[in-house]
Amino acid sequence: MTEHSGKPAGAGADKGAQGALNPRDLDIFEFARSGRGASGTVRLSQLPRMLNEVPADAPDRDTAFTWQAEGFTQQELQDNGTEGPQSYLRLAIHGAAWLTCQRCLAPYEQAFNADPVFRIVQTEDEADEFSLDDDEFDVIVGSRHFDLVDLIEEELLLSLPLVPKHEVCPEVHESLASGADGADGVDSVDDVPEQEIEPEERVNPFAALESLKKDGPGSKH
């Protein structure tokens, strides 16, 4: 993995502190407060939970994702009624991974493009105060030893499609290509008809009514 620091922490900062940031051990509060930036590459082999989503027969099980991170603050109203700086993190992730198509069961390459913004808070209790449905930003609990790679993996997992599938499947899986009766297969997945459940016998309500009339008190046998 490679990464580099962005904005310096300050004009008077020691040059030795300007080296490459460790995304596995990042003081995220200082990163946001000083408006720093960083970028790098992370491979699937470094993301075990994401790697579990990749089929064993994928053409490439160790694809790479590029990422860019930017810290910033903005003045917001605090609990004590005064305005103060609130820390934020902007994260962009781009890349692709092979997944299993749920229609044809073959591997396909899925693109990932995530660009979340996170509000950085101090405690879990603080994080719980914010709505999970907020579309502007997500909330994360920061630390002086924050694992940015773990956050990248979390975002990729959240970006997984609910039903992974090709836009157009190249072929039909053998389980769909022929039925149990040996019938000819279909040319593409789109040709597979929706299964219609038909009752064995349809009851005609008018026939049933006619039967009641015949069997009524005044009927003749």
What's the confidence (pLDDT) of residue 214?
56
pLDDT value of residue 171: 76
pLDDT tens across 152-179, in order? Answer: 999 999 999 999 999 999 876 566 555 4
Instruction: Say if CB 140 and CB 151 are below 8 A apart.
Output: yes
pTM: 0.70
Which residues, including other chains, have CB under 8 Å from residue 154's CB and lie 6 or more apart? none
Residue 57: pLDDT band (50, 70, 90) is very high
Tell me the HSE value of 112 on the side-chain side, using a 13 A CA sphere: 28
Q: Where are the domains of the chain?
A: 3-158
Residue 65 in this model has a pLDDT that exceeds 60 = yes
More confident residue, 85 or 133: 85
